[in-house]
Chains A and B, each alone.
Chain A
Amino acid sequence: MIFGIKTSPYMHAPQSVGQVMAQVIYALLPGTLALLWFFGWGVVTNLLLSLGFAVLLEALMLKLRERPLLPFLTDYSAVVTGWLLAVALPPYSPWWLILIALMFAMVIGKHLYGGLGYNPFNPAMVGYAAVLVSFPIEMTSWPAPALTSIGALSLNETIQQVFLGGLSTWDGLTQATSLDTIKTHLRLGETVEQISQGAAFGWIGGQAWEWVSVAWLAGGLWLIYRKIISWHIPVALMAALAGMALVFWLINPDHYSSPLFHLMTGASILGAFFIATDPVSASTTPLGKLLYAGGIGCFTYIIRVWGSYPDAIAFAVLIMNMAVPLLDTYTQPRVYGTKGRFGS
């Protein structure tokens, strides 16, 4: 075995914000393509509108705040926020819904707090939570995956639905997501086993969702390989979510879904690798990251199972964002040779 010996100078090639964000965008591609495959044109309109509004609002706010446009626009942080919102919102979302979400994200979530680096909350999730609370009907009408018997909208119909609204066939195309179905049918006294026979379910997760999740996972693992994100947050988030699910599943499998279902459904994987890992609003110390992400996993399970909303990544991330300053203060690693910050 050969051990390579490296001599000085030990050079380090720092990455600019723009380079990091560009790689996040590459990592988002497989999942986005999977969404496109399953849901059709609606994903394209979501993406185009969302990116357009994000860049436009970012430029507008920079101008109002008298900051230079070019360096901040080319750091691609607005593009990433817009992209995350585009894949989080239901495909075929009307244009005004996307605009309002982006306004909450870019104006209130980001720039009113001082712009990139100063925002305590994840901007994309601020926008998502605001529209989820405000427009529950639009936000819960996910179209059925296009490969089923229902089929997808054509390009013309998509444009009509997105810009004018009120497409007559639209209601027939939507279908309750698997998390939604579980929630409503459990109240009717059915068991998880019976519910899982429904149309919204696939092998282990929601129909089509499991494949989208696998695609997010591939992009996320690439981000860890490229050292853009560390393993702490995704692992702790998935472990906490699966751990909670495992305990309750072992107690009563008729009433609680399996851990694998919770991981492969909804926004779990997207949240673990792309949303919770936002470098600005996440915790920065190793122990802090584990606690922060563990909290997100627990809150996600709690809100999914006992709350009134079907999915909960956005709320869980926002709740734990509030705890980040405290976590960062109390989890600073001890510098070698000194006594601990709170040690005796």
Chain B
Amino acid sequence: MSTEHPYREIVFNGLWQNNPGLVQLLGLCPLMAVTTNLVNGLGLGIATLMTLVTTNLLISLLRPFIREEIRIPAFVLIIASTVTAIELLIHAYFSELYAVLGIFIPLIVTNCIIIGRAEAYAAKNPPKYAWLDGLMMGIGFALVLVSLGAIRELLAHGTLFSQAHLMFGEAARGLSLHLSDDFKGLLLAALPPGAFISLGFLVAGKNYIDQRRAARAQQQALLKPVSDPL
């Protein structure tokens, strides 16, 4: 890291600048398939987040012992064992959520975000940065999963947090929001095309905010009086 504030940069990169869901567009398969409602998105987001922190930290720690030529198989082994452990944890404590997320938890192994961060970041940086990178990339991805899940759930069923009890226990049933009984529901939003269209709008929204910020920064740079007029 060459900048003055590596931690701040890692946080900004993961959450916004280089967001895995909106900018790198990695892990689209689980992103599209699971986010039919908010709780599913949150569940997969947290599972991916835990995986990312663990694998990034482990790979960064083991990096002196892994020969360059065999690093990819070694990464895959580490990732696969981490995911297996997390899968067993979810199965043990949230078995209903496990039934909903199903195949997508073991499939985190193949999620490009995990191996991407391992190769691009953890293999080149010390553990003190690597775990934070995993955490921030994980949160960034989870935020996209949650917002996509919320948009699609609202459009398709007119509800929010509809299966919250799967994750937070019976007490969370009251969390469920139901808009109105008269709501017809845009079924398309729950289907794969709806996922693609909603993600497209999210990416467009991010780019729009970035452009506005860039334009404003440029305007301010022009307006600023020259402080050192020679």
Q: List chain A positions with a Cβ less than 8 A from chain B.
A: 96, 100, 108, 130, 133-136, 138
Contact = CB atoms under 8 A, between A and B. Distances in A.
Nearest to A131: B188
Contact of B188 (A96, A134, A138): A134
Interface string B149-189: 00000000000000000000000000000000000111111
A133 B191 contact: yes
A2 B184 CA distance: 68
A196 B184 CA distance: 34
10 contacts: A96-B184, A100-B186, A108-B197, A133-B187, A133-B188, A133-B193, A134-B185, A134-B187, A135-B187, A136-B187
Given A108-B197, A134-B189, A136-B187, 6 more contacts: A133-B187, A133-B191, A133-B193, A134-B186, A134-B188, A138-B184
B1 to A, nearest CB: 39
B7 to A, nearest CB: 38
Nearest to B185: A134
A108 B193 CA distance: 12
Contacts of B193: 133
Nearest to A165: B182
Contact residue range for chain B? under 10
Contacts, number: 17
A135 B184 contact: yes
A24 to B, nearest CB: 28
B194 to A, nearest CB: 9
B96 to A, nearest CB: 28
A138 B185 CA distance: 12
Contacts of A136: 187
A134 B157 CA distance: 11
Kindly list the 4 A-B residue pairs having the minimum CB-CB distance in the complex, ordered from nearest: A134-B188, A134-B187, A134-B186, A133-B188
Contacts of A133: 187-188, 191, 193
A130 B196 CA distance: 13
Contacts of B184: 96, 135, 138
Contacts of B185: 134
Contacts of A130: 188
A263 to B, nearest CB: 30
Contacts of B189: 134
B156 to A, nearest CB: 9
A167 to B, nearest CB: 15
A54 B147 CA distance: 30
A133 to B, nearest CB: 5
Q: Which of B187, B188, B189, B197 gathers the greatest number of chain A CB atoms within 10 Å?
A: B188
Contacts of A108: 197
Nearest to A135: B184
A96 B184 CA distance: 10
Nearest to A96: B184
Contacts of A138: 184
A2 to B, nearest CB: 60
Contacts of A135: 184, 187
A107 to B, nearest CB: 10
A134 B188 CA distance: 5
Contacts of B186: 100, 134
Contacts of A134: 185-189
Contacts of B191: 133
B206 to A, nearest CB: 16
A100 B191 CA distance: 16
A138 to B, nearest CB: 8
Nearest to A94: B184
A166 to B, nearest CB: 10
Contacts of B187: 133-136
A130 B188 CA distance: 7
A294 to B, nearest CB: 26
Nearest to A166: B182
A138 B197 CA distance: 23
Nearest to A133: B188
A241 B187 CA distance: 30
Q: Which of A108, A134, A138 gathers the greatest number of chain B CB atoms within 10 Å?
A: A134
A182 to B, nearest CB: 25
A206 B59 CA distance: 68
Nearest to B197: A108
Interface in B186-204: 186-189, 191, 193, 197
Nearest to B190: A134
Contacts of A96: 184
B173 to A, nearest CB: 28
